[in-house]
Structure formats: structure tokens, C-alpha cells
Structure 1
Amino acid sequence: MTTVCLSANTLYYPEGGGHRWVYLNWALGLLAAGCDVFWLEGVDPATSDDDVRWLVERLAADIAPYGLEDRIALWSYADDGDDYDAPAGRPMEGILDADLLLNFAYGMPDRVVQRFRHSALIDIDPGLLQLWLSRGELTVAPHDVWFTTGETVASGSSSIPDTGRMWIYTPPAVCVDAWPVHCAPDQGPYSTLTHWWDDEVFWDGESRDNSKRVSFRPYLGLPREAGIALEIACDLPEDDEDVSLLRANGWRVSSGVAVAGSASAYQQYIRASRGEFACVKPSCLWFANAWVSDRTLCYLATGRPAVVQHTGASSVLPDRSGLLRFRTPQEAAALLNEAESDYDRHSREARALVEAHFDARGVAMSVLERALP
């Protein structure tokens, strides 16, 4: 049996149910592929033992339904972290003979990566990670294999900076068994979950806002133009002026933590939706990275059509079949109505798309074949 240590990055964001699912889908795919799986998290040395125990308890509660609660191990960011005596989880020493470190934590120190026999990094920020690396804004330890979830990163057919690494494309993953088709509510909204703000990025000679706020503003009038209920679950406080602006234009706005503060709540929120409507970070458009969100895959797996912003030419992503990709507000309104007018077909095609290209078991097996000698 192949043993894989999956290094996630969720410990300090216990209220991020959707963020937890990014890594949980991969872990479940590895399990379905017949692997023995351990869940690794990095610990800031400034965190007290009591806080570490509480954070691990929150993580364990989220992944317990899938039998992973006793598979957690911790490593430390401290310079002398090799001697870290974790107050919770398994000791690292017991899992260092794993066949593969599958690493999503860009900041994992070289001394930790090198303790494993084989290592592979998964890039889930295609375009941005390469930009950070090319400018020296981020240092990532050497890995044996470099995977990316951006199609055009690996193809070299975009403006994404060259980092001197050989990037291999892998689709993002969704565990279709954990996300079965679920009957959609007739009156449910087309929803999405997002962070509203993000950092500025220096690109093409200028500093640019890379927030979802910028992306959604051209679509403020969409609920009325399309005549379809749209909802955003985000991290804005109730009294924020953007909440008032969204609601004044017909949007429903809810708290992301309130509706998706755990892995199970996140799943329930998506099931209560009729579909997804989402804009991407502006950087996805600058880079044309042909990326699709793991969140969108969860909607699709559940049989929810997803109307999302176009991120570039793709050999995998359709434009009007379960996944409907728009470039303008007018096109977004038309595609929302197209999804509604032939809902059952788009629902079937949504599920078929993830089964064909994003099923976590198949994705995991493909990664293992390329990452292990």
C-alpha cells in the first residue's frame, strides 16, 4: 500500500469549511486510490500548546466523518522544528517513511520536505505562485515534481512567468462519492462563497487590485437583469457599505462563516443552492490560466450548473454544458437564463463533467503515477 502524507494549510482557519474541502477532496481521492493517508499541518512556534490542541480538535471534527481524525500530524515552522514535540496528533517521526509528501503548503521549510523520500508540490494559485517565485517574493523548497492546477502554466501558452521549473498540469479534485447528486431546490439562489478583499499585485508595470470586489462590481445589476436570485456568502461585516450596495442591487448577502463555518455546513450550503454564479480574481484573467475553482467542482458534482467567469481557452472546460463561462454582464445574464431554461440537462452535464475529468480518485492516481518512480 502506498503511503502519502498530504500537507494541507487549514489549521489556522478553522471556520473555513470550504477551504478545508480543498484538501479533503484530495485526501479522499487518495484513500479511494488505495493509499494510506496522513494529514499534515504546519504550526507557528508562537502558538500555545492549548491553542494547538483546540485547533487540532476543530480539524479532527471536520474530517472525522471520513475516518481521518486520527491521521493528523504536525510539523513546526521553527528553525529547530525537527525536535518539535507536538501537543496533539501523531509524531512526525512515525510517518517519515511515507512513499510521498504531497505538499500544498508553499511555506514548508526545506528541512521538512527533505525528510521525505519523494515530494511533489501542488500549485493551487496558478499564475500568482509563478509570479511570486519569479520575483523572489516567495521561496519554495525544492521538490521532486511540480504540479499545477492551471492548464496554461504547464503549456507555456500564456503570459505566466517562467520559473525554470517543469510544471505538470493536474486537474483540481472533487471526491464524487462524497458529493453525490442532490435534488436542487426550486427557489434556491445561484450562490457562491468568497473572500471579498485581496492583496494588490504588481503586474504589467502597475499595482493592481486583485480582489473579488473588483471582479463583481461590473455585475452589480445582474440579479435584476437576469431575473434570477443571486447570493454571495462572504467575509464582509453586516454594516459594510458594500453589503448595502449589493443588496440595493438585488443581491442576497450572507456571512460565509455563518453558512459554511465547517466542512459539513459548506456542503449543506451548496446543496441548498440551485447553482453557482461566480466571478474570479482579476489575476485569472490577466494570466488566462484556464483555472476552475475547487468550489465550483463541488457545485458541479452535486448536479448544480455553474455560471462562472471565463479564465481562458481550455481543453477540459466547456463553455455551455453544465459549466457555462461568461465574459460580460450581458453574457452572464444570458447564460443564467440558459441554465434555468434547460436545467435538467445542465444538471446532468455538470455531474458528467466532474466524473470525466475531476474525480478525485482518478486525479490522485494520475498524480501518483507521475510523482513516484
Structure 2
Amino acid sequence: MKKLRIIVSGYIGLFPSGGVTWDYIQYPLGLHLLGHDVYYIEDTMQYSRFQSEGKSWDDSSDSIQYLKETMEKFGLGDRWAYKDVASGKWFGIADARRNDIFKTADVFLNISESIWMRDEYLDIPVRILLDSDPMFTQVQYWNDYEPEKSREIINKRFSNYSHLFSFGENINAGDCSIPTYGLKWQVTRQPVCLDYWQQTTGSPDICKLSSVMNWSTREKMIYQGEEWGQKDVEFEKFIDLPAKFHGVLFELLVTDSSKKLERQRLTEAGWVIRDPLQLVRNTDEYQAYIESSCAEFSVAKETYVKSNSGWFSCRSACYLAMGRPVITQDTKWSRYLPSGNGLFAFNDTAGALQALQEITADYKKHALAARKIAEDYFDSYTVLNEMISCL
């Protein structure tokens, strides 16, 4: 295998939290473990979202420090750079070395369109857009009233890349609503660095089903005269699940940036609602929280479900890697991943209840199967090698 110089982008500094960090760190970490010369560059052109008490809104020092500590923890302490939009300064890799990396890089991997496409990135021979948010990525700039102008804007965005990859594994199927604009979309899935996710034996004392989620991160999109929404829309269908299955604890760590969460209503329905910003602030806390759970129960964004995207969660892949069974709403991912042993797809309450019954009846069996699915389908060595081989 040829050793490549690869630049990876992400949101580790912008959103300093355990789950987001694992979403992005497993790319530079996984590619580094494969022997490639990898650098993480965060150049989002966005102001930091989190400041500790007493710091001003344009102070990025907390984000920079979090990113520095994270990269050092994973042995990448000399392989990161952060562009602070407020001051215009770079942090991390020194200027001369960073500029040399830009000039000599073989591959540029823009995850979630997180990086600002400057000329130095456009000059890199292989430029990959990794669509982690299928359907949103393709239509977020669409305007039903100006279709021709919308196509022009969207095609210009995608023309910045030599390769397009998507977490929407069903994107090329006839029943998928995601517009491809006649472009070649290759499918991929989340890499998990399995050596960092050791399966724990046994089950927690309390049978807790959990998940970590955003309630709603944006207003509904409009595409082709239809609304395309977030998780809050799908969750309504399953809000009464705790009342129908006793003997387990249903807990959610919910970020509510939209301020639309009706906390009391969910609590009265039997859900325990907690704050992820207090419980999963870093990678260790995130892993500890998953380990404290028996399994995951989660819904998907309405847009993923309605479009038949085939999307599967990075978070769910981490539950599987920890040997925690997963019950998650089907987006047509069950066409590409096994369902029924350790991992369960559901479309309605009856399907969710059936999965709960099977997991609680033979927990050890499903815990072992969960880890096996992670090894077979999400191992970073396999996932990232397959991506590189497509370039």
C-alpha cells in the first residue's frame, strides 16, 4: 500500500464534546494507524460555539485547548492546525510546515463540508467530500422557486471535489429520494478504531437503554414542495414506548439548541432526560456513558427516514463496538447491515417492542453479536482501506 499524505477536516474544536470528537477523530486516527502521513486541519470559518465563564463570544481558546489535548491523547499532537476566524491566526502546526503540507498533500478529505475551500485545498490532487448528512448535503441550498439557480449553486459546490462519498448507503437505489444531480456518489460508512473500543463483559446493574441526540438542529427544509425535518418529528411516533415496556430505564442525553424540547412531556411519558454537555464532555466520558448502558434505542432524523437514505449513525457504530446491542430506526440501512441479532431495525412501535423483548431475553447473545457486527462492518482498517482503494 502506497503511503499517502492526507489532510482530514472536522469539527472537533468547534463542537468540543465526546460524541462529536469520536465522529471525526477516527478518520485521522484510523488513517494514521494504516501508516499514512495524516494531518487534521480545522478551518471552518465559524466562531467557536463554547466559551468557559468569563470569556467573550469570540474567544476560541477553549476550543483550541480542547483540540490540542484531544490530538495529544491519540498520539497526533504534532499533526493538527486550527484557524481562528476571530483573530485570523493559525494554531498548532507552524506556518512553514503547514504550508508545505498543503503543497505536498496527496488527498484532502473534507468531512461534513467542515472546511472552507481555499485555493490551497483546491490545489490538492484528490479532493474528497464525505457526506455525513445525506439529503441535507444535497438540498440544503435548494430553493423551489429558483430551481435553475439552485442547480448552478449546488453543482459549483460539488465541482470542488474529485470524489463524492456518502453515508447514505441507499443513495443510488431507485427508491431513494436524494438527488444525485447526475454525479457519481460512492458509499461508505463510519470507521471505528476498534482497538480503542474494548468490549466489556456482562451487563450493567440497571438495564438502561440510552442514546445521545440533538432534538432539532435547524428548521425544516423545503424540497420539491415537501418538508424535511429532524429527529423531533420521528420521536413523536415512539414517545409512549416506556409505558409499553417495563423493567428497563429509557434515558436520553439531549441537546436542545432549537429550544423546542418539551422536557416535562417526555418525562411524564417515562423518559429520563439528561444534559450531554454535563455527562459526555470528552471521549472518555462518552465511552463510559455507552459502557453504563445495556443497549441503545434511537430514532433517526425524519429526512433520513423519509428519503430512504440508508444512513446509519456513527454513535450506533460505537455502541456496537462496545458490545452494546442497538435498536435503531430503519432508513433502509437494513439492506446493507444485518438486522435481528445484536442490531435491530424498526419502523414502528411493534418492531421496537419486539427488539426489546429479544435483547432482554438473551442479553449475552446479543451483546456478543453487536461487537461482531462492529468488527465485520465498521473496522477502520477495512472501511478506510476500501475508501482509499476507490480513489
TM-score by length of 2: 0.85
Q: 1:93 aligns with which of 93, 99, 109?
A: 99
Contact 2:140/2:221, CA 8 A, preserved across alignment = no
CA distance in 1, matches of 2:118, 2:184: 19
Contact 1:133/1:163, CA 8 A, preserved across alignment = no
Aligned to 2:337: 317
CA distance in 1, matches of 2:327, 2:94: 42
1:274 counterpart = 2:264: no
CA distance in 2, matches of 1:241, 1:28: 35
Contact 2:215/2:261, CA 8 A, preserved across alignment = no
Offset of residue 278 of structure 1: 0.1
- Give 1:192-271 correspondences, 5 Å limit: 192-198=211-217, 199-208=219-228, 210-227=229-246, 228-236=248-256, 242-271=262-291
Contact 2:30/2:193, CA 8 A, preserved across alignment = yes
Q: 2:163 aligns with which of 145, 148, 151?
A: 145
Offset of residue 248 of structure 1: 0.9
Contact 1:321/1:350, CA 8 A, preserved across alignment = yes
CA distance in 1, matches of 2:343, 2:270: 24
CA distance in 2, matches of 1:56, 1:36: 22
Structure 1, 166-175 or 101-110: larger mean CA deviation: 101-110
Contact 1:8/1:103, CA 8 A, preserved across alignment = yes
Aligned to 1:369: 389
Aligned residues between the structures: 364
1:62 counterpart = 2:70: yes
Q: 1:314 to 1:240 in 2, by over 3 A?
A: closer
Aligned to 1:19: 20
Offset of residue 38 of structure 1: 0.8
SS in 1 for 2:315: helix
Aligned to 1:3: 5
Q: 1:9 to 1:140 in 2, by over 3 A?
A: farther
Contact 2:39/2:80, CA 8 A, preserved across alignment = yes
1:173 counterpart = 2:208: no
Structure 1, 226-235 or 293-302: larger mean CA deviation: 226-235
CA distance in 2, matches of 1:44, 1:284: 27
Q: Percent identity?
A: 28
Q: 1:311 to 1:245 in 2, by over 3 A?
A: same
- Give 1:347-358 correspondences, 5 Å limit: 347-358=367-378
Aligned to 1:127: 135
CA distance in 1, matches of 2:341, 2:215: 28
Q: 1:60 to 1:154 in 2, by over 3 A?
A: farther
Offset of residue 240 of structure 1: 8.0
Contact 1:291/1:311, CA 8 A, preserved across alignment = yes
**Cα RMSD for the two superposed structures:** 2.6
Amino acid at match of 1:86: W
Aligned to 2:123: 115
Q: Which runs of 5+ in 1 are unaligned?
A: none
Aligned to 1:73: 81
CA distance in 2, matches of 1:241, 1:40: 34
Amino acid at match of 2:239: L
Aligned to 1:330: 350
Contact 1:150/1:291, CA 8 A, preserved across alignment = yes
Offset of residue 293 of structure 1: 0.1
CA distance in 2, matches of 1:242, 1:21: 28
CA distance in 2, matches of 1:247, 1:185: 23
SS in 2 for 1:300: helix
User: Cα deviation per residue 1:336-359 (whole Å; 9 max; x = unaligned)?
Assistant: 121111211111111111111111
Amino acid at match of 1:54: D
Q: Which runs of 5+ in 2 are unaligned?
A: 49-55, 144-149
